[in-house]
Amino acid sequence: MLAHKTAGVNKLEGRDNLTALWDLRIHPDYRRQGIGQKLFAAAAQWARHRNCTELKIETQNINVPACRFYQTQGAYLCSIDRASYNDLPDEVELIWCVTL
């Protein structure tokens, strides 16, 4: 899911030059085939076409494969929020950023 200039999406910080990405999922039967890379590249291109300079990606500390994936796509860890998920005390929100 991508959000840009979307009311009520706090991850956008009220910025017009930011796109937020979350819930990029590939069915286990289709992983490691380049589909995630293509979807990620399409998301980045979509954001660039809207004059965005940054892509923010939400994931969690328990999702190590996603963290590794985003890092290989050029993302860097830009924010850690240990209190983001009140009902899931063992999960930590990790925000990855990509400069477009």
pLDDT at 67 over 90: yes
52 pLDDT exceeds 90?
Answer: yes
Per domain, the residue ranges of the chain are 2-99
pLDDT tens digits for range 13-51: 999 999 999 889 999 999 999 999 999 999 999 999 999
pLDDT band at 87 (very low <50, low <70, confident <90, very high): very high
**Residue 19 contacts by C-beta under 8 Å, 6 or more apart in sequence?**
2, 3, 4, 12, 43, 46, 47, 50, 52, 54, 55, 56
Homologous superfamily (CATH) of 2-99 is Gcn5-related N-acetyltransferase (GNAT) (3.40.630.30)
